[in-house]
Structure 1
Amino acid sequence: MKPLHKKNKIGLLALLLGILFFPMPPASAADGIAEEKAVAPARTGAVVSSVRVVIDASPDRQASHAAVANHLIRIRPGDRLTDTSVEAAIAALKSSHRFSAIHVDSSTAPDGEALTFSLTPGQTVRDIRIRGKYPLFERDILNQMTLYPGDPFTREELSAQAAAIVKRYRREGYITPRVSVKALAEPGEENAVILVDIEKGPHYMLGELTFEGNRGISSSALQWRMGVWRTALIPGIGRFSEYRLKKDMESLLSYYRSKGFADAALSYRIDDPGESHRVNVTVRIQEGHRYRIDFEGNRRFWDMTLKKEVTLFTEGNRNNIGMRKSIQNIKNRYRLAGYLDTRIEVAATDAPGDRETVRQVRLAIDEGPRTVVEEVTIAGNRTLAEAEIKKQLLTRPPAVFHDGAFVPETLDTDTYAVTTLYLQQGFRERTVDSEVTFSQDKTAAAVSLNINEGPRTTVRSISITGLAVLPEATARQVLVHHIGGPFRNAALAVEKEAIASLVSEKGYPHATVEARVTTSMDHTRADIVFDVDPGPLVTLGEIFISGNLRTREQVIRRELEVKPGMPLSLRALHDGQRRLRDLDIFHGVKYRTFGLKEKAETVNLFVEIEENKPYYAQASGGYESDSGGFGRIRIGDHNLFGLNKDLWAGGEVSETGYRVETRLTEPRFLGSRTTASIGAFTEELTEFNQPFGTRTTGGSLAFGRSLGTHLTSALSFRLERRDQFSVDNRPATRAEEETRTIFVTTPYLRYDSRDSFVRPTRGVFSSLSVDVSRGVENRLDDFVRYLFDTRYYRTPLEGLTLAGMVRVGQVLPYSDSDLVPDDQLFFLGGIRDVRGFKENLLRFDSAGDPVGGKTALTGSLEARIDLGMNLELTTFFDIGSVQDALVPDGSDRFRSSVGVGLRYITPIGPMGLLYGHKLDREEDEPAGRFHLSIGYSF
């Protein structure tokens, strides 16, 4: 073993100076890796005779870590040994996050220098267990940590985790929280469990909350708007947090401004709590004047419209900035309407009151004349038609859908648009100038565009040189230019990038493309030459995967769809990363490549996985009008056996019955992009107001596939045994009394472009399903059932969403008998279709029992108005009809209702109370009905 050479000492001194005078990058896991280098070549440029990797780990772990190191160390026997090559090898090993200690030695051999890399594998996080987290959730703690299961870690990082968690609890109001973060692992184990032990200790509590200087708003009104005060009302657990106090101060300031106190300024003082831990808070308020704004002279816009431009009541009026900004906003609104000379005079008077001084601000508006475009003329256009040019213009005379206002800024935009149009047509030397002539009273403007086209340059020839890795015809397909078409200089950059991308996908990521253009003397012809330099061929080396504590490596490699030895394709790597991130089993996926920046012939890929917790349990309960009180539970595993399979089992109990179900889903059936699932279920269902119920046991097999961004298709098969029973001693037919075995085949197609599944505001949802039912032992269930459902959502104004739904269903028997069992018919009425009616009682017989039909049609319109504070006002109109009944009772006519409701929007969907009023109430029928719902009706 040799000591450091003198030259190495000088290099060490330079490194220390660099640390002192240059800022350090953010800390990472690699920063805590112990590194020691004892390399001293006997002579400059000595030849490397051998490279040896020694892994300080158990024998069963040595081979895999040695393979990683050998691919990262790019020094080979026969190379010249330099400090640069050794430093590069150490940097690559550190960046891999696989080793906690790196030691490099050199020794002189007869045939050169022998290098030895002694490496100690690092530990990774197998799991994170948290004790004492209440009142925070586990996710709150994990969000403060930079470690996640599957990540490598160092001892220094554990201390950083503890400090971050302590800071979070102090923000919650705890005085001296103590956090211990330990790594638990058996000696020699590569994975460790991180144990987070939290001792929160005592917390601050709010003592007295007093307000000083508030005259316009009472102290009680201010208290109720402060979260720290409301929290203190909860005995024993109400914690005081200065962090929340600051949020409350921001809320109070906004409240004061909304009440007209634009000059309000707020501050607070916290008294020393001492040993009592009770914090007394004093809020100091300088209310200032209470502003009231009046408008005069505004004929074009209503006061309500102009007040939207006033920022005093949202941003305040510090140093009169709010008033100046408001005036400028109003002038801009007038300018966009064609009023170019609007003047606004401000007059303010103070009127002392009992509790505050009111500053009455009068904005006297002199709108001035409104300038309207009288005509637009085009001059100088010889090649392009006037109609084509005018399509680019927003400046135009009044029309049905255009007010004709003249706005100078719009004309500037139009001039640029026409200039761009000529540029796209190959006129590189064009000029477009605008000229405006106003009438004497400035109510009319005549606009003219004067165009000097200049010569038009067209493409005479296109050549591609140096393209040996793919057919030239393939490259020409991505070109914007074509022979005889206009020449556009801006398109060259796009074409160079497109050609380079094609070449790169063949394994040449360092490809460069240059473009040369030669024009004729008169600038009417252009010859384009693309010079392609593919650079060296690069292949994908080894793929190293880490962090997959549960997921099998074969699942990850299947999604990558690339293999070692293939030409390197950056697009293929990106697509593989996207596919991995789309899997529900992963929390995050990171890529790191080694050798790409160095332009090496082989690039190794490191895939770092962060897994989601596979196991889950869900429980919910509530009340809905169509099922009454209910409770649901589900448990499952998103990553069964580490194979990316989803297995769950669940049950539901309600006033209408119960259902127990289990299902196994394979997202990559036979390695394809088709999803397959198989399940079994049993249920008993007696819907409200129905004289019969059903008991069903069966199983299903379904296949689904995405056909694009919004389109999904599916095909399912269901085999079930069904019993229909009477609940009110109604006589049943012999066929209905028998247990029926049914096989159903269902093709399904869905289009969904909604912007949100929970609370859609725009988009379309449409679905079509066809149940082909076959009775195994009887012909009663031989029918085809069609169900079409379409919904449309639009938000024409902020806070207002319009929603519409149309649903059509029909059952067509194909047996000799035209009969269909009651439990296969359509029934309408209730929260899911026509509100205001009892469940299933849109059509009923003389006894008051529901009547079903083989055809059902229903439609709904809703206006959803956002009231703020997560509240939504809903008005609706519903209409529906049950037709083709098996009994003569009731009518085929349409019945309708209107109604109103209030919904509270939660993160998982809305909860609402709605009332529907029948528009065609029959004799002895109630006028309407209240409904409780979880989620939207559509």
Structure 2
Amino acid sequence: MSRPLISYPKNAGWIFYVLVLWMGFCGNSGSLAAEPTHSPNAPFTSDDATSVIDDIQVIINDRPHRQATYAQMARRLIRQKPGATITDAGIRASVEALTLSRRFSAIHVDTSDSHQGQTLVFTLTPYHYIKDIRIRGNPPLFDQDVLNAMTLYPGDPYARDQLAAQAVAIGNRYKREGYIDPQVSIEAIGQDEDEKETLVVNIRKGPAYQLGSLRFDGRRAISEFTLKRHMHVWRVTLLPGGSRFSSYHLKQDADALLALYRKKGFVDATLSYETRMADDSRHVDVTVTINEGKRTHVSMVGNHRFWNLTLKKDIVLFRDGNRNNIGVRRSIRNMKRRYRDAGFLDARIKAEILPSADAPESRQHIRFTIQEGPETLVESLDVSGNQALATKEIKKAVLTRPPGLLHDGAFVPETLEEDVFSVTTLYMQNGFQNRQVSPQLAYNADKSRVAVELAVNEGPRTMVRTIAINGLKGTGLSTGDAQKVLVHRVGAPFRQPALQAEKEAIASLVAEKGYPHATVDAQVAFSEDRSRADIVHRITPGPKVFLGEIFIAGNLRTDEGVIRRELGAQPGDPLALRTLYDGQRRLRDLDIFQSVNYRTLGLKERDEMVNLFVDIREKAPYYTEFGVGYESDSGLYGRASGGDRNFLGINKALSASGEISQTGYRVETRLTDPRFLGTRTTASLGIYNEEETEFNQTFGTRTTGGSLAFSRSWGAHLLSALNFSLERRDQFNVEDRVTDEANESTRTDFVITPSLRYDTRDSFVRPRKGVFSSFSVDISKGIDEDADNFVRYQIDNRIYRTPFEGITVAGLVRIGQVIAYGENGDVPDDQLFFLGGIQDVRGYGENLLRIDEEGDPVGGKTAMVGSLEVRVDLGMNLELTTFFDIGSVQNALVEAGSDSFRSSVGLGLRYITPIGPMGLLYGHKLNREEGEADGYWHISIGYSF
């Protein structure tokens, strides 16, 4: 005989659960009927043998090939065990564990009689998972826009009752784009052999609202066209098929118009808008009502320490407005703060609103009157009462100081407070637990000078006499292991705050041995004069915990072995949380996953075995990229690439790319392994074919080859690499390219290239600060002849600084040299250095920094380049650039041109896009030779450096 105890669908509430549980235990039929009633929150107990669990059965409602896996998972999660007494708490814990695993869509618990007691029967329905989401009818939105509106993603558990909410969310996203009544349906099609569903999203957008009339009431100072130009809802009407009206964008437009008015001086402007549906129920008429207020001009009087331009940075009126005079008050507060930081402690600022003399009804004048008061400078800084610490050491920790080469000497009370804290901390770090530091100030008559004295009462110095660590027995750690993580050392100063850090460090160390519940109590005994401290760390390891099973879900394509290898932990290992977190970080670092989440079950219950659930969201494996453009060094070009970032599901990237331009073409196929032989080393194997004839060159090269590269990151900034390549190179004369290939020379060479790169730039696309340095050596060996027997060194150093907001200074130094080591001391033309053009010395044509009598480029074995560039942010994604370039090509193989340095200056304008800047630059030669042009125009995508 059997009866249900719990039926627990995934969305059932706890009230439902408790009621069903109560009925299951207190009902009047089945073997439990004879048991006394009890509270659902109290444990179920009885002396009757029938309340003892004889067996636990797990029934999986799924296809046979999935039943064993889920049954094994469930048995590990069920808290009740055979031989134990049935309790409501135990069943509740079992259901909770099964629910938290997020692997079962329905959970049902029954009981049946047996000779030895009761059999618990868990009937479970596993989730199906979403294999793919296909979107139809989504333009003008991209697939990713639609996915961002959903809460489901490929790899997530599938539940049919969630589809309606997804459809509503997608529909709302299209309504935001202006569609009147978009219809969205989602259907699940075809389960595969792994019970994975494919969702098909069908979108029927239907008609969209359109902008009808657009009227501005109250507009006087700004033209109607200018206002329209700042409104997205109007601009889209100029585009073919882009006339959708969106209330979402209208709200943004209202904010943009208000910002425009404030920027033009209307700091009291207010703006509202109304919409009215036209008679056709499709067009929307918009009326924008503007109360411009008076146009405001701001001036400052009485300021001598700061320029007007500097103080205007503190005025927020033209950005935030002046509602209820809040903008004026905030501006005054900002200016006072600037004066105070400069030592003007009694600066007074007031604002007067005056009518404009020429147009009092439409203009007003806000005048900030500044009484700077005396500038208080630090006359002297003295330290008294210090005996153990030298005055010089204390002053190093203090920012308050007299005027000097790198300090203006301004006295700021807030800075002095920070200095007192800094000196107090310094004494604490040296063992003075009861130290006191008191600042004493002595002003002169007009408060323009102040003498600062730091009066120190050191108190007794406490040194560590002994350190004891108790409780490590059986943990696998020695006292020496624990001492390595301590801050204190015997004979060193005692620091009270360091105790907490030591407790956490010891607990973390013990936890890594399988004791995640370890606690550490630190006690200190002081000598009578507090000059000595005895430290005792008492460790309570708690129960040893092991890692149970690792359950992985969401890996639609990725082989489970890849994930387990990155985790770095195996079932049965002592539970080490830090190891698990490190594994999670490694998984997230892989380019094949969008997200990785961990959940542990059994840890808070202090179970001996803790199961780990890993939920994966994979990135779309396939990708394609296309691009066309123009650059000065390659002319018109087109690029395409595509690949599989998770080839065969084993975390290997397979890619193919091609490029064609006015200077040649290149095609390449490459296979990359980011975890070569299970290490942190990336290996990449590629084959390629290319032909290149650079602008202004007299020769070209065709290259077919293969390369094998290894690289490894050593922290956040350092990268080392080793590259091997085997190439067949055909060098041809450009003039004979079509009619005569007899002049071609074919060479086969093998090149080994070790390299180092150090990069601290804050952005790869638009760096504003940081350093980039690289060093590489090409060691080439000719297979058929010794023409390619050479060693090539290249050094590239760049620095970026932003001394002022919006102004970035960038510098470059690049050096290259080729040294032949064969019997033939010459180097092939295609291995020489050529300079000139957008990538190095601007103002010269590509490769034309050094030329012969006929104007052809001359290369050399040595090249040096230096550049200095100032980039000024103009706003509106525009950037003004000024630059100075200098370079030299030396050790040429022919007697033509000069080894001397040549230089240029220039100016440019760049437009900053999300993928980098696009620019037009002009370089002017500073040492132009006879017959040369004065300069050269360059078109660039990205920065030169």
Q: Which residue of 1 aligns with 2:432?
A: 427
Structure 2 residue aligned with 1:133, among 128, 138, 142? 138
Q: Is the 8 A contact 1:762 1:792 kept in 2?
A: yes
Does structure 1 residue 117 correspond to structure 2 residue 122? yes
State the secondary structure of the residue aligned to 1:639.
strand
Q: Is the 8 A contact 1:667 1:676 kept in 2?
A: yes
- Bigger drift between 240-249 and 780-789 goes to 780-789
Q: Which residue of 1 aligns with 2:407?
A: 402
Q: Which residue of 2 aligns with 1:28?
A: none
Q: Is the 8 A contact 2:5 2:110 kept in 1?
A: no
Q: CA deviation at 1:39?
A: 5.7
Deviation per residue, 1:539-558 (Å, 9 max, x gap): 11111111111111111111
Q: Which residue of 2 aligns with 1:413?
A: 418
State the secondary structure of the residue aligned to 2:337.
helix
State the secondary structure of the residue aligned to 1:728.
helix
Equivalent positions of 1:327-346 (< 5 A) are 327-346=332-351
Structure 2 residue aligned with 1:707, among 714, 718, 738? 714
- Counterpart of 1:695, as a letter, is R
- Counterpart of 1:123, as a letter, is H
Q: Is the 8 A contact 1:723 1:739 kept in 2?
A: yes
Q: CA deviation at 1:272?
A: 2.2
Aligned in 2, Cα 1:818/1:303: closer, same or farther, shift over 3 Å? same
Q: Which residue of 2 aligns with 1:450?
A: 455
- Counterpart of 1:15, as a letter, is I
Equivalent positions of 1:708-727 (< 5 A) are 708-727=715-734
State the secondary structure of the residue aligned to 1:637.
strand
Q: CA deviation at 1:575?
A: 0.5
Q: CA deviation at 1:216?
A: 2.2
Q: Which residue of 1 aligns with 2:615?
A: 608
Q: Is the 8 A contact 1:726 1:732 kept in 2?
A: no
Does structure 1 residue 833 correspond to structure 2 residue 840? yes
Which whole-Å CA distance do the structure 1 matches of 2:192 and 2:862 have between them?
A: 71
Q: Which residue of 2 aligns with 1:102?
A: 107
Which whole-Å CA distance do the structure 2 matches of 1:755 and 1:678 have between them?
A: 30
Q: CA deviation at 1:172?
A: 0.6
Q: Which residue of 2 aligns with 1:661?
A: 668
Structure 2 residue aligned with 1:154, among 138, 152, 159? 159
Which whole-Å CA distance do the structure 1 matches of 2:782 and 2:927 have between them?
A: 40
Equivalent positions of 1:463-862 (< 5 A) are 463-468=468-473, 469=475, 470-729=477-736, 737-862=744-869
Aligned in 2, Cα 1:434/1:734: closer, same or farther, shift over 3 Å? same
Deviation per residue, 1:628-682 (Å, 9 max, x gap): 1111111211111111111111211111111111111112222222211111111
Which whole-Å CA distance do the structure 2 matches of 1:574 and 1:828 have between them?
A: 50
- Counterpart of 2:15, as a letter, is L
Q: Which residue of 2 aligns with 1:242?
A: 247
- Bigger drift between 461-470 and 562-571 goes to 461-470
Does structure 1 residue 210 correspond to structure 2 residue 208? no
Q: Is the 8 A contact 1:683 1:696 kept in 2?
A: yes
Deviation per residue, 1:431-463 (Å, 9 max, x gap): 222221211111111222222222222222111
- Bigger drift between 636-645 and 820-829 goes to 820-829
Does structure 1 residue 461 correspond to structure 2 residue 466? yes
Which whole-Å CA distance do the structure 2 matches of 1:74 and 1:440 have between them?
A: 80
Which whole-Å CA distance do the structure 2 matches of 1:409 and 1:695 have between them?
A: 68
Which whole-Å CA distance do the structure 1 matches of 2:740 and 2:759 have between them?
A: 42
Number of paired residues? 920
Structure 2 residue aligned with 1:300, among 299, 302, 305? 305
Does structure 1 residue 866 correspond to structure 2 residue 873? yes
Aligned in 2, Cα 1:435/1:232: closer, same or farther, shift over 3 Å? same
Does structure 1 residue 277 correspond to structure 2 residue 282? yes
- Counterpart of 2:288, as a letter, is V
Gaps of 5+ in 2: 27-31, 36-43, 46-50
Q: CA deviation at 1:190?
A: 1.6
Which whole-Å CA distance do the structure 2 matches of 1:35 and 1:820 have between them?
A: 87
Which whole-Å CA distance do the structure 2 matches of 1:68 and 1:216 have between them?
A: 72
Q: CA deviation at 1:729?
A: 4.3
- Bigger drift between 299-308 and 272-281 goes to 272-281
Q: CA deviation at 1:534?
A: 0.5
Q: CA deviation at 1:884?
A: 0.9
Gaps of 5+ in 1: 20-33
Which whole-Å CA distance do the structure 2 matches of 1:461 and 1:4 have between them?
A: 64
Q: CA deviation at 1:503?
A: 0.0
Give the CA RMSD over aligned residues. 2.3
Q: CA deviation at 1:822?
A: 1.3
Aligned in 2, Cα 1:731/1:648: closer, same or farther, shift over 3 Å? closer
State the secondary structure of the residue aligned to 2:233.
helix
Q: Is the 8 A contact 1:902 1:912 kept in 2?
A: yes
Q: Which residue of 1 aligns with 2:397?
A: 392
Which whole-Å CA distance do the structure 2 matches of 1:349 and 1:635 have between them?
A: 65
Q: Which residue of 2 aligns with 1:901?
A: 908
Which whole-Å CA distance do the structure 1 matches of 2:817 and 2:13 have between them?
A: 86
Aligned in 2, Cα 1:631/1:734: closer, same or farther, shift over 3 Å? closer
Q: Which residue of 2 aligns with 1:29?
A: none
Deviation per residue, 1:214-245 (Å, 9 max, x gap): 22222222111111111122243211111111
Q: Which residue of 2 aligns with 1:883?
A: 890
Which whole-Å CA distance do the structure 1 matches of 2:222 and 2:580 have between them?
A: 61
Aligned in 2, Cα 1:254/1:76: closer, same or farther, shift over 3 Å? same
Which whole-Å CA distance do the structure 2 matches of 1:894 and 1:280 have between them?
A: 66
Which whole-Å CA distance do the structure 1 matches of 2:141 and 2:741 have between them?
A: 60
Does structure 1 residue 315 correspond to structure 2 residue 314? no
Q: CA deviation at 1:2?
A: 5.3
Q: Is the 8 A contact 2:4 2:108 kept in 1?
A: no
TM-score by length of 2: 0.94
- Bigger drift between 417-426 and 291-300 goes to 417-426
Q: Is the 8 A contact 2:128 2:195 kept in 1?
A: yes
- Bigger drift between 108-117 and 186-195 goes to 186-195
State the secondary structure of the residue aligned to 2:356.
strand
Q: CA deviation at 1:427?
A: 2.0
Q: Is the 8 A contact 1:35 1:101 kept in 2?
A: no
Aligned in 2, Cα 1:604/1:730: closer, same or farther, shift over 3 Å? closer
Which whole-Å CA distance do the structure 1 matches of 2:695 and 2:14 have between them?
A: 84
Aligned in 2, Cα 1:538/1:218: closer, same or farther, shift over 3 Å? same
State the secondary structure of the residue aligned to 1:780.
helix
Which whole-Å CA distance do the structure 2 matches of 1:5 and 1:736 have between them?
A: 91
Q: Which residue of 2 aligns with 1:15?
A: 15
Q: Is the 8 A contact 2:732 2:741 kept in 1?
A: no
Q: Which residue of 2 aligns with 1:22?
A: none
- Counterpart of 1:409, as a letter, is E
- Bigger drift between 582-591 and 427-436 goes to 427-436
Q: CA deviation at 1:730?
A: 10
State the secondary structure of the residue aligned to 2:280.
helix
Q: CA deviation at 1:430?
A: 2.1
Deviation per residue, 1:234-267 (Å, 9 max, x gap): 2432111111111111111111111111111111
Which whole-Å CA distance do the structure 2 matches of 1:351 and 1:890 have between them?
A: 67
Which whole-Å CA distance do the structure 1 matches of 2:122 and 2:566 have between them?
A: 34
State the secondary structure of the residue aligned to 2:423.
helix
Deviation per residue, 1:885-904 (Å, 9 max, x gap): 11101111111111111111
Q: CA deviation at 1:5?
A: 9.0
Aligned in 2, Cα 1:299/1:94: closer, same or farther, shift over 3 Å? same
Q: Is the 8 A contact 2:328 2:351 kept in 1?
A: no
Q: Which residue of 2 aligns with 1:83?
A: 88
State the secondary structure of the residue aligned to 1:499.
helix
Aligned in 2, Cα 1:808/1:855: closer, same or farther, shift over 3 Å? same
- Bigger drift between 799-808 and 581-590 goes to 799-808
TM-score by length of 1: 0.95
Aligned in 2, Cα 1:186/1:443: closer, same or farther, shift over 3 Å? closer
Q: Is the 8 A contact 2:158 2:197 kept in 1?
A: no
Q: Is the 8 A contact 1:633 1:651 kept in 2?
A: yes
Which whole-Å CA distance do the structure 1 matches of 2:801 and 2:337 have between them?
A: 29
Does structure 1 residue 326 correspond to structure 2 residue 348? no
State the secondary structure of the residue aligned to 2:657.
strand
State the secondary structure of the residue aligned to 2:346.
coil
